[in-house]
Structure 1
Amino acid sequence: MKNAAGALAFIVRFVILGLALAFVVGLFWPGSGDRLRERFGLDHPSQPAAILQAAAPAPGNGPVSYADAVARAAPAVVNIYANKMVTARAVQMYDDPVLQRLFGGLPTGPAYKRPQQVLGSGVIVSGKGYVLTNNHVISNADDIQVLLYDGRIAKATLVGADEETDLAVLKIDAGNLPVAKIADSHALRAGDVVLAIGNPLGLNQTVTMGIVSAVGRQLSSSSAEDFIQTDAAINLGNSGGALVNAKGELVGINTLLIGRQANAEGIGFAIPIGNAKNVLDQIIATGHVVRGWLGADYAFVPVAADSGLPAAARGAQVTDVYPGGPAALAGIQPHDILLRIGTDDILDPADLRRHEAALKPGSKVELSGLRNGAPFHTEVTLARRPPLQARATLDG
């Protein structure tokens, strides 16, 4: 027993001495272990690939900060204060709390006028003083004031508005104006970083960041316009402000958010700058926007579940024809499948609306499609697209 204990004590002392010697060698002659392993042909212990990958800097070209982009874009973004008079009536509340909860109150007394101020944003797009904003910001305003980035205040006049895109063009008389640099909106892709700059809730020059969630969004089946969807925070007062890319270039005009009342988070929309520029140019030239109109409503081409074809086939199906409109005069009927307009194939209903809106009223175009499975061709003379309210009356 004593011999075993003595042997164990000797081994422990030998191990401690060896560790101490290895420590001294490693301290004064670093790298000697690697040289010995190479001399005796031993492999270097390899690290797990995951550890090596984590230690290496991740490749990428994304900036650490977007301050430079904001510095380039923010001076062209303005605050808009639209003042108007609205009609109101006094309200008498019920004494019973239950009735108050159910019915609120009863209007009482004569109607009276009271001032109301609507907050919004805008973007300077020309050194001549033209400002793009939303139509709903300045609609029915009696007085429009614009606060510039450098603190100047300018009175704005309305050049024209387009309800369909919810855009309006203002003109301010001021010199030395910063102008937003316009990007190529066709290059915008889902996943691109974007910054929303505006005046949300009266908080001057606020910047929020997100990505492009989708492009080409259709918010109305009767409209030719499409939108950029983004999760960059857009709040009341952001309307008409700038949506810019990571370079500070203008890619869209913020216009709409879907809030918590719809159980939505991070869903906002902007008008692509290409569409906005087209509206701007027409309003400056003529005071209004002119679009071509076929006088029909469309839907996706229906496909039977057992047909083996994709869920949305190419083309557009006519769902309704306005009496006396261009399509009706050309013999277009409900359930017709339209496949081609002029020399261009029709991809879907939104594509057809974009094509017809781009054509000038009075121009003639050939429509090709299928009626009850048989090919047909007809020539249509486009009319001017009526305002939204007029189309609702025609539809009713």
Structure 2
Amino acid sequence: MGLLGTRARSGRKAVAAGLLALFWLGSASAQAQQPTPEDLRLVPDSAAQIKLSFAPLVKQVAPAVVNVYASRKVVQRQQVSPFFDDPFFRRFFGQPNGGFGQPRERVESSLGSGVIISADGTVITNHHVIKGADEVRVALNDRREFDADIVLMDEQTDLAVLKIREGGPFEHVEFADADLLEVGDIVLAIGNPFGVGQTVTQGIVSALARTQVGVTDYQFFIQTDAAINPGNSGGALIDMTGKLVGINTAIFSRSGGSNGIGFAIPAHMARYVARAADQGGKVQRPWLGATVQLVGAEIAEALSLDRPKGVLVTAVFDGSPAHEADLRVSDLVVAIDGKEVIDPNAFGYRFATKMIGESAEFTVLRSGREETVSISLQPAPETIPRDTRELLEFSPFEGATVMNLSPAVAQELGLDGLPEGVIIAEVRRGGQADRVGLRPGDIVRGINNQAISSTRMLETITKTPPRIWRLDIERDGKVSQIVLR
């Protein structure tokens, strides 16, 4: 408090924008209208203004933040001593029918948070909070509890949408425009950390567009120092107007507790998934049909740029939306619909949050000139049936489930470009494929110098195995050869 007083006495230099928000939230006029950006730049000039509280804002938003309880039944088979195979021992211990080896059910539960985003009881939370759940219940801050149905689960974004079965109308929050956030803005995190009950923590936006988090396929997060702990997942990150700017998702911690580095999925992505739930319960992402790469210092210098920016188009596939729009190799995409693109992660986020059936305007630098390319937003086509097959014959692929590759499959699996070959979707534990070291996501490019073009072709080869297997396997964009006898 002494520091704030010193600053005020020394000429009212810049004070945290959150204190300005406190002034407006606590004043009578703020209850009639929200503060404008000009109002938020004013500096509080009295001790009374500085002491004002976040309480009015919390009272407004807290009823829309819920606790999410997810449970699932897991069947476990007890380990049985070989002695119990003997009928005498089974009778002696009162288990005449081998009851010692019978499966038993137990219930696993997980706890997280969620946010009501509409009056009909639509709730958005994290995918990992309800993954595998058989039953889901939500509890409001007034202690009422309701059963909820799972409407949509999207692992790629780590988001899920629930629907409260009965009751309502419910208090809810509106989405904010997360693009208006700036580093230093005050935010509140509301959730249920460690299951202790609804908790509010306060902090600032520490960084925007964080990309090295690794919890979703779309690396574009809001970083905040508001305390986020286990159980906060799926909860609300709100701004000083009471709108939802993000869904709290992850923390950076070596101890498991909050170290002041938390991450939230931006509201744009949450709204995109919520809209997909309203339009049939399936997330359909637009397909570009091109690959891009990061622009580093060397490429920026070669392109005569004053600094690295945008993404460089490295390939365009025939018949794709990018090809139809005349996007070209070596084009530098610097913005999508006027929003700056700084790297491939930002590019992927900006493009993935566009809705099917609309269009996106790419700002590109081509031969030193700025041009606009309009991309039609279409779903990725399944140009070849995926023809999923589990390989059962004894071979290096025994126990692997494989699929044909198409733009739709490549997009679902998060692959860059459109690789050739057959992709391994699953590997059964203990099978030959597992023992050989094959993994889900590996692409079978060839066997004994013969290109593999379909799952049927691969299955046929496993039924007439050669003496020596020379496998060309692509993993993480690199092709390696494995030789097996």
TM-score for both structures, normalised by structure 2: 0.56
1:178-327 aligned within 5 A: 178-219=171-212, 223-224=217-218, 226-260=220-254, 265-304=259-298, 307=301, 313-318=308-313
Selected match of 1:119 from 103, 106, 111: 111
1:86-235 aligned within 5 A: 86=74, 113-172=105-164, 173-219=166-212, 223-224=217-218, 226-235=220-229
| CA deviation after TM superposition for structure 1 residue 144, in Å | 0.3
Tell me, in whole angstroms, the C-alpha distance in 2 between the residues paired with 1:350 and 1:303: 18
- C-alpha change, 1:110 and 1:244, in structure 2 (3 Å) is same
Could you say which residue in structure 2 is the equivalent of 1:353?
348
Structure 2 gap segments, 5+ residues each: 23-50, 81-100, 381-407, 416-422, 424-440, 444-485
- Whether the 8 Å contact between 1:303 and 1:311 is mirrored in structure 2 is no
Tell me, in whole angstroms, the C-alpha distance in 1 between the residues paired with 2:320 and 2:357: 12
* Matched-pair identity in %: 39
- C-alpha change, 1:376 and 1:207, in structure 2 (3 Å) is closer
| CA deviation after TM superposition for structure 1 residue 259, in Å | 1.7
- Whether the 8 Å contact between 2:227 and 2:259 is mirrored in structure 1 is no
Secondary structure, aligned partner of 2:226: coil
Could you say which residue in structure 1 is the equivalent of 2:386?
none
- Please tell me the residue identity of whatever aligns with 2:356: K
- Please tell me the residue identity of whatever aligns with 2:176: A
| CA deviation after TM superposition for structure 1 residue 131, in Å | 0.8
Cα shift readout 1:149-181 (whole Å, capped 9, x = no counterpart): 221110000111222222111111112421224
- C-alpha change, 1:89 and 1:192, in structure 2 (3 Å) is farther
- C-alpha change, 1:52 and 1:212, in structure 2 (3 Å) is closer
| CA deviation after TM superposition for structure 1 residue 367, in Å | 9.6
Tell me, in whole angstroms, the C-alpha distance in 1 between the residues paired with 2:321 and 2:195: 47
| CA deviation after TM superposition for structure 1 residue 279, in Å | 1.8
- C-alpha change, 1:168 and 1:89, in structure 2 (3 Å) is same
| CA deviation after TM superposition for structure 1 residue 343, in Å | 8.4
| CA deviation after TM superposition for structure 1 residue 290, in Å | 1.8
Tell me, in whole angstroms, the C-alpha distance in 1 between the residues paired with 2:327 and 2:11: 64
- Please tell me the residue identity of whatever aligns with 1:79: N
Selected match of 1:72 from 40, 60, 70: 60
- Whether the 8 Å contact between 1:336 and 1:369 is mirrored in structure 2 is no
Of residues 162-171 and 109-118 in structure 1, the stretch that sits farther from structure 2 once superposed is 109-118
Could you say which residue in structure 2 is the equivalent of 1:61?
20
| CA deviation after TM superposition for structure 1 residue 114, in Å | 2.5
| CA deviation after TM superposition for structure 1 residue 145, in Å | 0.8
Could you say which residue in structure 2 is the equivalent of 1:43?
none
1:371-382 aligned within 5 A: none
Tell me, in whole angstroms, the C-alpha distance in 2 between the residues paired with 1:52 and 1:341: 40
- Whether the 8 Å contact between 2:338 and 2:363 is mirrored in structure 1 is no
- C-alpha change, 1:288 and 1:250, in structure 2 (3 Å) is same
Tell me, in whole angstroms, the C-alpha distance in 2 between the residues paired with 1:345 and 1:57: 35
- C-alpha change, 1:327 and 1:87, in structure 2 (3 Å) is farther
- Larger RCO: 1 or 2 (CA < 8 Å, sep 6+): 1
Aligned residues: 329
Structure 1 gap segments, 5+ residues each: 1-49, 93-108
Of residues 75-84 and 187-196 in structure 1, the stretch that sits farther from structure 2 once superposed is 187-196
| CA deviation after TM superposition for structure 1 residue 390, in Å | 2.9
- Whether the 8 Å contact between 1:368 and 1:378 is mirrored in structure 2 is yes
- Whether the 8 Å contact between 2:336 and 2:351 is mirrored in structure 1 is no
Of residues 274-283 and 192-201 in structure 1, the stretch that sits farther from structure 2 once superposed is 274-283
Tell me, in whole angstroms, the C-alpha distance in 1 between the residues paired with 2:360 and 2:188: 42
Tell me, in whole angstroms, the C-alpha distance in 2 between the residues paired with 1:343 and 1:244: 25
- C-alpha change, 1:395 and 1:370, in structure 2 (3 Å) is farther
Cα shift readout 1:266-291 (whole Å, capped 9, x = no counterpart): 21111222331222122112212222
Of residues 286-295 and 69-78 in structure 1, the stretch that sits farther from structure 2 once superposed is 286-295
Could you say which residue in structure 2 is the equivalent of 1:82?
70
- C-alpha change, 1:192 and 1:52, in structure 2 (3 Å) is closer
- C-alpha change, 1:327 and 1:234, in structure 2 (3 Å) is same
Secondary structure, aligned partner of 2:187: strand
- Whether the 8 Å contact between 2:335 and 2:341 is mirrored in structure 1 is no
Of structures 1 and 2, the larger Rg is shown by 1
- C-alpha change, 1:267 and 1:111, in structure 2 (3 Å) is farther
| CA deviation after TM superposition for structure 1 residue 55, in Å | 8.2
Question: RMSD between aligned alpha carbons?
Answer: 4.5
- Whether the 8 Å contact between 2:222 and 2:263 is mirrored in structure 1 is yes
TM-score for both structures, normalised by structure 1: 0.67
- C-alpha change, 1:111 and 1:282, in structure 2 (3 Å) is same
- Please tell me the residue identity of whatever aligns with 2:183: A
| CA deviation after TM superposition for structure 1 residue 361, in Å | 6.6
Tell me, in whole angstroms, the C-alpha distance in 1 between the residues paired with 2:7 and 2:297: 52
- Whether the 8 Å contact between 1:367 and 1:380 is mirrored in structure 2 is no
